[in-house]
C-alpha cells in the first residue's frame, strides 16, 4: 500500500508554527490543501497548532497508515509532547541508510539525499510550487526549497523508493522491519523517560573532589618547582622532559606523549608523574561527570535524558550522547560513587539491571563452532580461568590471578583482531612471549583461529562482513595498498561480526522486552551495550529481573548459550 501520509514536519520549538505539506492524500485531511500549490503551505503556517494536531492525530495514530520519515524518533518525541502517539512507521530512511551502509560518516538527510538521489529528476513544482519542468536534483534552488518542510518529507519518500529494493537485495528487510523499526519506539520512550539523579551525591562528591584536586595541585607545583596548567599536555611535556629531564617514552603526532602508559612508566623515576596520574583521574571524574551531569537534569522531568543514536556505530551498536550514559565510570571506587548517583526516581521505585555475561566470547564460540570454547560455556565455567588452565596447561584450581588476567587479555584481544605487538603492549610483556601466548591459545581453540582466517578471506572476496542477523558492513579498505589501513580493516572484519551480533541480540531483546515490561509496570531506561537498566515498583524487583533474564537469554539459541546476570537496588551502583 502506498504511504498515505507523505510528510509532516513540525518545527522544533513548540508554538512556533507547523508546516503541513501533504501530497497524494488531500482527501485524508480536513485541512484544505492544493498539492500543486505549495504557496498554501505558508497559509497553513498560520493555523493554530491545536487545529493542525486535531486534524493529524487520527492519521498519525493509525497503525494501518504507513509513515515514512528521516530520523523518525525525533518526530515521535515532538508528537508525543503534543499528545500524539505515532504509529505505523514503515520506514525510517536514516535507519535504512545505516543498514544499507553503516560505515557512512553521516546519515543525515542532506548527505543521504545527495548520495542516493543526485541523478534522479524531480518535479520542481513539488518544491517551489510553480511550473512543472523536470529538473535534476542539483538544479533545485535550495534557498527557496529549503524553507518548506515538504522538502524533508519529499526527499524521505523518494529515498524510501531507493532503500526498499536495496534492503531487499542485501537481505536486510527482516532486520529493518522486525528489529530496527520497532526499536525506534522503544528508544524514543527511553529518551523521554530519562533517569533520575541524586543531587546530593553529586554535590558531596564535587566538594570532595575539589579539595583533593586543590591539594594535589599544590603537591604537583612543588614537585615541578613551578606553576603551570596541569591540563595542558603541551606544558606538561615541557616540565617532564625538558625542565626535569625525564626520558620521553613515546611520541604523538605533535609532540611527546604524556598519557597514562607513559606516566606509569615514569612514575618510578620522579614523584611528579604519579601525582599527575592521580590529578588526571580526579579531574576526569569532576569535569566529565560529577560537575557536568547535574547541570543536565531537565527542569520539568527532574531527570537526565540522553539520546540513543541508532545510526552511528559501524558495527550495529547503539551510541549515547548529550550526555553519553554508556560510559559512566564503574571501575574505581570514585567511579562507582558516580554510578551510585543514578537512582530510581521515587521512594517506591527500584532499579533493576540485567547484563549479558561474556556475550561477545559466547558469540565468538558460536560463530567459530570451537568445541572447547563451546564446552566451557555449556559447563558455565569461568571462561578466563578455563582459558588460562588450557593455555598454561594446569588444572583450573591452580590458575593464579595473574594467569587468569593474562588469559582474559588474550580472550579480549582475539575479539579485537589481536597482534603479538598489541598483546605485548597491553600486558607489558616481551613481544615473543605475547606471540607464544597467542600460539598456545590457538592450539587450544583451533576452530577460533580457522574462523578468524576465514572471516577475513571471505570479507576480501565479498567486500563486506555480516552478523548472525544479516547486518552488513562493507570494508573496502581490505584492498588498500597501505598495510596499516589494510590491517585495520582486517581487524574490523574480525570484530564486526562478533560485536555486531551481540548488538543484534540485545536490540532484539529490547524489542521483545518492552511490551512485557510495560505489562509488569516496569520501564526500560538505559542500554549499555550488554546491559539493560529498568525502573520498576519496589517489591517487584524479582519479578522484573526474572522477566528480563527469561527474554534476554532466549532471544537466540546459540551453541554457547546466552547467560544473563541480574541485580536490583535503589541506585545503579548497588545493583552490581
Partner DNA sequence: GCATTCTGCAA
Partner DNA sequence: TATTGCAGAATGC
User: In whole angstroms, how close is the CB of 24 to DNA at the nearest point?
Assistant: 35
Distances (CA, A) of 195 to 167, 190, 288: 35, 9, 18
Phi-psi region of 248 (alpha: psi -120 to 50; beta: other; left: phi over 0): beta
* Nearer to DNA among residue 158 and residue 366 (C-beta): 366
Q: Cis link prior to 323 (omega < 30° from 0)?
A: yes
Asked whether the beta carbons of 532 and 543 are under 8 A apart, the reply is no
Q: What is the DSSP letter of 240?
A: I
Asked whether the beta carbons of 166 and 22 are under 8 A apart, the reply is no
* Residue in 17, 66, 90, 233 binding DNA, rule: CB under 7 A: 233
C-alpha count within 13 angstroms, C-beta hemisphere, residue 252: 11
Q: Closest by alpha carbon to 528, among 277, 300, 359?
A: 359
* Nearer to DNA among residue 158 and residue 339 (C-beta): 339
Which span sits near DNA by CB under 7 A: 38-46, 52-60, 413-421, 454-462? 413-421
Q: Work out whether 427 is an interface residue with DNA (CB under 7 A).
A: yes
* Nearer to DNA among residue 22 and residue 230 (C-beta): 230
| Residues binding DNA: number (CB under 7 A) | 70
Query: What does the alpha-carbon distance between residue 165 and residue 144 come to, in Å, rounded to a whole number?
Result: 31
Q: Work out whether 323 is an interface residue with DNA (CB under 7 A).
A: yes
* Nearer to DNA among residue 68 and residue 237 (C-beta): 237
Q: For Cα atoms 237, 242, 246, give the angle at the middle one, nearest 5 degrees.
A: 80
Which span sits near DNA by CB under 7 A: 216-224, 313-321, 451-459, 558-566? 313-321
Q: Which of residues 444-503 bind DNA (CB under 7 A)?
A: 484, 487-488, 491-492, 495-496, 499
* Nearer to DNA among residue 281 and residue 559 (C-beta): 281
Q: Work out whether 182 is an interface residue with DNA (CB under 7 A).
A: no
Backbone angles phi, psi at 321, to 5 degrees: -150, 165
* Residue in 332, 394, 432, 518 binding DNA, rule: CB under 7 A: 332
Name 287's Cβ contacts closer than 8 Å, sequence gap at least 6. Answer: none
Q: Which of helix, strand or coil describes residue 122? A: strand
Strand partners for 308: 320
* Nearer to DNA among residue 211 and residue 259 (C-beta): 259
* Residue in 30, 51, 322, 554 binding DNA, rule: CB under 7 A: 322
Query: What does the alpha-carbon distance between residue 63 and residue 61 come to, in Å, rounded to a whole number?
Result: 6
User: In whole angstroms, how close is the CB of 1 to DNA at the nearest point?
Assistant: 35
Q: Which of residues 278-307 bind DNA (CB under 7 A)?
A: 280-281, 284-285, 287-288, 292
Asked whether the beta carbons of 186 and 524 are under 8 A apart, the reply is yes
Residue 319 parent element (H or E) = strand 319-321
User: In whole angstroms, how close is the CB of 185 to DNA at the nearest point?
Assistant: 21
Which span sits near DNA by CB under 7 A: 91-99, 137-145, 156-164, 422-430? 422-430
Q: For Cα atoms 83, 194, 13, give the angle at the middle one, nearest 5 degrees.
A: 45
* Nearer to DNA among residue 3 and residue 503 (C-beta): 503
Q: Work out whether 417 is an interface residue with DNA (CB under 7 A).
A: yes
Q: For Cα atoms 94, 95, 99, give the angle at the middle one, nearest 5 degrees.
A: 120
Q: Work out whether 564 is an interface residue with DNA (CB under 7 A).
A: no
* Residue in 88, 90, 274, 335 binding DNA, rule: CB under 7 A: 335
* Nearer to DNA among residue 335 and residue 345 (C-beta): 335
User: In whole angstroms, how close is the CB of 544 to DNA at the nearest point?
Assistant: 20
Radius of gyration of the chain, Cα coordinates, nearest whole angstrom: 27
* Nearer to DNA among residue 540 and residue 563 (C-beta): 563
Which span sits near DNA by CB under 7 A: 129-137, 167-175, 201-209, 412-420? 412-420
Strand partners for 216: none
* Residue in 30, 39, 215, 231 binding DNA, rule: CB under 7 A: 231
Query: What does the alpha-carbon distance between residue 345 and residue 347 come to, in Å, rounded to a whole number?
Result: 7
* Residue in 234, 298, 378, 432 binding DNA, rule: CB under 7 A: 234
Which span sits near DNA by CB under 7 A: 83-91, 117-125, 169-177, 316-324? 316-324
Asked whether the beta carbons of 465 and 459 are under 8 A apart, the reply is yes
x/- mask, DNA, residues 253-272, rule CB under 7 A, reads: xxx-xxxx--x---------
Query: How would you write 55-110 as a 3-class SS string?
Result: HHHHHHCCCCCCEEECCHHHHHHHHHHCCCCCCCEEEEHHHHHHHHCCCCCCCCHH
Q: Closest by alpha carbon to 88, among 77, 76, 71?
A: 76
Q: Work out whether 413 is an interface residue with DNA (CB under 7 A).
A: yes
* Residue in 154, 160, 514, 531 binding DNA, rule: CB under 7 A: 531
Q: Residues in the site for DNA, rule: CB under 7 A?
A: 229, 231-235, 252-255, 257-260, 263, 277, 280-281, 284-285, 287-288, 292, 309, 312-315, 317, 319-324, 326-332, 335, 409-410, 412-414, 416-419, 421-423, 425-427, 484, 487-488, 491-492, 495-496, 499, 528-531
Amino acid at each position: 500500500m502506498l504511504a498515505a501520509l507523505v510528510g509532516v514536519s513540525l518545527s522544533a520549538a513548540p508554538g512556533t508554527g507547523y508546516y503541513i505539506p501533504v501530497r497524494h492524500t488531500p482527501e485524508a485531511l480536513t485541512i484544505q490543501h492544493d498539492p500543486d500549490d505549495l504557496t498554501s503551505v505558508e497559509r497553513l503556517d498560520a493555523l493554530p497548532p491545536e487545529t493542525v494536531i486535531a486534524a493529524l492525530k487520527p492519521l498519525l495514530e493509525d497503525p494501518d497508515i504507513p509513515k515514512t520519515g528521516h530520523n523518525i524518533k525525533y518526530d515521535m518525541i515532538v508528537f508525543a509532547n503534543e499528545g500524539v502517539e505515532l504509529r505505523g512507521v514503515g520506514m525510517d530512511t536514516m535507519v535504512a541508510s545505516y543498514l544499507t551502509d553503516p560505515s557512512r560518516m553521516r546519515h543525515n538527510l542532506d548527505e543521504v539525499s545527495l548520495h542516493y538521489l543526485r541523478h534522479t529528476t524531480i518535479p520542481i513544482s513539488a518544491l517551489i510550487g510553480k511550473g512543472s519542468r523536470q529538473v535534476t536534483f542539483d538544479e533545485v534552488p535550495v534557498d527557496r526549497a529549503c524553507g518548506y518542510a515538504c522538502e524533508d518529507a519529499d526527499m524521505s519518500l523518494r529515498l524510501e523508493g531507493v532503500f526498499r529494493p536495496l534492503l531487499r537485495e542485501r537481505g536486510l528487510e527482516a532486520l529493518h522491519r522486525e528489529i530496527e523499526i520497532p526499536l525506534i519506539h522503544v528508544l524514543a520512550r527511553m529518551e523521554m523517560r530519562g533517569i533520575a539523579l541524586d543531587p546530593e551525591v553529586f554535590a558531596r562528591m564535587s566538594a570532595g573532589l575539589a579539595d583533593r584536586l586543590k591539594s594535589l595541585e599544590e603537591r604537583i607545583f612543588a614537585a615541578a618547582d613551578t606553576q603551570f596548567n596541569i591540563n595542558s599536555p603541551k606544558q606538561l611535556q615541557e616540565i617532564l622532559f625538558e625542565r626535569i629531564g625525564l626520558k620521553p617514552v613515546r611520541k604523538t603526532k605533535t609532540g611527546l606523549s604524556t598519557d597514562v602508559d607513559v606516566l606509569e612508566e615514569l612514575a618510578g623515576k620522579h614523584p611528579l608523574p604519579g601525582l599527575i596520574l592521580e590529578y588526571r583521574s580526579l579531574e576526569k571524574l569532576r569535569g566529565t561527570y560529577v560537575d557536568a551531569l547535574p547541570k543536565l537534569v531537565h527542569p520539568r522531568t527532574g531527570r537526565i535524558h540522553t539520546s540513543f543514536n541508532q545510526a552511528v556505530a559501524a558495527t550495529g551498536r547503539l551510541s549515547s550522547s548529550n550526555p553519553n550514559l554508556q560510559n559512566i565510570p564503574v571501575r574505581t571506587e570514585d567511579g562507582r560513587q558516580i554510578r551510585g548517583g543514578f537512582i530510581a526516581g521515587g521512594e517506591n521505585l527500584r532499579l533493576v539491571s540485567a547484563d549479558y555475561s561474556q556475550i561477545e566470547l559466547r558469540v565468538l564460540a558460536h560463530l567459530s563452532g570451537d568445541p572447547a570454547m563451546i564446552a566451557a560455556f555449556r559447563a558455565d565455567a569461568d571462561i578466563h580461568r578455563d582459558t588460562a588452565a588450557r593455555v598454561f596447561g594446569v588444572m583450573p584450581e591452580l590458575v593464579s590471578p595473574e594467569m587468569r588476567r593474562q588469559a582474559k587479555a588474550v580472550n579480549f584481544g582475539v575479539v579485537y583482531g589481536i597482534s603479538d605487538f598489541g598483546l605485548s603492549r597491553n600486558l607489558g610483556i616481551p613481544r615473543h612471549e605475547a606471540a607464544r601466548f597467542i600460539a598456545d591459545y590457538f592450539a587450544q581453540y583451533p576452530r577460533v583461529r580457522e574462523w578468524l582466517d576465514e572471516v577475513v578471506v571471505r570479507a576480501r572476496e565479498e567486500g563486506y562482513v555480516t552478523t548472525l542477523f544479516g547486518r552488513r558492513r562493507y570494508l573496502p579498505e581490505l584492498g588498500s595498498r597501505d598495510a596499516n589501513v589494510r590491517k585495520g580493516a582486517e581487524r574490523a572484519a574480525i570484530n564486526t561480526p562478533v560485536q555486531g551480533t551481540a548488538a543484534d541480540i540485545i536490540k532484539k531483546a529490547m524489542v521483545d522486552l518492552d511490551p512485557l515490561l510495560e505489562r509488569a509496570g516496569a520501564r526500560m531506561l538505559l542500554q549499555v551495550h550488554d546491559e539493560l537498566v529498568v525502573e520498576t515498583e519496589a517489591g517487584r524487583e524479582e519479578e522484573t529481573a526474572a522477566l528480563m533474564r527469561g527474554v534476554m537469554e532466549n532471544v537466540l539459541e546459540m551453541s554457547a548459550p546466552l547467560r544473563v546476570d541480574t541485580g536490583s537496588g535503589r541506585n545503579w551502583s548497588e545493583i552490581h
